[in-house]
Structure 1
Amino acid sequence: MDNGIGLHGTGLRGKVAVVTGGTRGVGAGIARAFVRAGAEVVVCARRPPEEPVEGVRFAPVDLRDAGTVRGFFGGLARVDVLVNNAGGTPYRMLADSEAERHARVLELNLTAPLTASLAAYEQLRRAKGSVVMIGSVSGSRPSPGSAAYGAAKAGLEHLARSMAVEWAPEVRVNTLVLGMVRTELSHLHYGGEEGVAAVSRTVPLGRLAEPLEVGAAAVFLASEAAAYISGASLLVHGGGERPAFLDAATANKES
Structure 2
Amino acid sequence: MDLGGRTVVVTGGTRGVGAGIARAFARTGADVVVCARRPPEKPLEGTEFVPLDLRDPAAVHAFFDGLPRLDVLVNNAGGAPYRLLAGADAERHARVIELNLTAPLTASLAAHAHLERASGSIVMIGSVSGTRPSPGSAAYGAAKAGLENLARSMAVEWAPAVRVNTLVVGMVRTERSRLHYGDEDGVEAVGRTVPLGRLAEPADVGDAAVFLASDAAAYISGASLLVHGGGERPAFLDAATVNKES
**1:201, distance to aligned residue in structure 2 (A):** 1.4
Partner of 2:114: 123
1:84 aligns with 2:75: yes
Which runs of 5 or more structure 2 residues have no equivalent in the other structure? none
Alpha-carbon distance in structure 2 between the residues aligned to 1:71 and 1:78:
14
Instruction: Note if 1:155 corresponds to 2:146.
Output: yes
Does residue 32 in structure 1 map to residue 47 in structure 2? no
RMSD of aligned alpha carbons: 0.6
Partner of 1:4: none
| Among 121, 135, 139, the residue aligned to 2:130 | 139
Amino acid at match of 1:159: L
Residues 186-205 of structure 1 correspond to what in structure 2 (within 5 A)?
A: 186-205=177-196
The offset of 1:53, in angstroms, is 1.1
> Cα deviations across residues 202-227 of structure 1 (Å, max 9, x unaligned)?
10000000001100000000000000
2:236 corresponds to? 245
Which of 53, 56, 65 matches 1:62? 53
One-letter amino acid of the structure 2 residue matched with residue 81 of structure 1: V
Deviates more, 1:245-254 or 1:169-178: 245-254
Once the two structures are superposed, what CA deviation does each residue of 1:142-169 show, in whole Å capped at 9, x if it has no partner? 0000000000000000000000000000
> Between the two proteins, what is the percent identity of the paired residues?
80
Partner of 1:95: 86
Runs of 4+, deviation exceeding 6 Å: none
CA distance in 2, matches of 1:35, 1:197: 29
**Does the alignment pair 1:177 with 2:177?**
no
Which letter does structure 1 place at the counterpart of 2:177? S
* Aligned-partner SS, 1:92: coil
Instruction: Give 1:100 shift.
Output: 0.5
Task: Flag structure 1 segments of 5+ consecutive residues without an equivalent.
Answer: 1-7
Deviations 1:168-211 (A, max 9, x none): 00000000000000001101210111111111111000000000
What is the number of residues matched between the two proteins? Answer: 246
**Matched residue type, 1:176:** L
d(CA) in 2 for partners of 1:211 and 1:158?
24
Q: How many Å apart are 1:88 and its aligned residue?
A: 0.1
What CA distance in whole angstroms lies between the structure 2 residues aligned with 1:160 and 1:173? 6
Name the amino acid aligned to 1:223. S
- The offset of 1:90, in angstroms, is 0.2
Deviations 1:101-155 (A, max 9, x none): 0000000000000000000000000000000000000001000000000000000
- Tell me, in whole angstroms, the C-alpha distance in 2 between the residues paired with 1:53 and 1:197: 27
**TM-score between both structures, scaled by the size of structure 1:** 0.95
**Take 1:130 and 1:252, find their aligned partners in 2: how far apart are those partners?**
47
Partner Cα separation in structure 2 for residue 162 and residue 147 of structure 1? 23
SS at the partner of 2:226? strand
- Residue 227 of structure 1, aligned match among 218, 221, 238: 218
Give the C-alpha shift of residue 252 in structure 1: 2.0
**CA offset at residue 254 of structure 1?**
2.0
Q: Report the CA distance between 1:48 and its aligned residue.
A: 0.2
State the match for 1:210 in structure 2.
201
Q: Deviation digits for residues 63-92 of structure 1, max 9, x if unmatched?
A: 000000000111110010000000000000
Match of 1:43 in 2: 34
- Per the normalisation by structure 2, the TM-score is 0.99
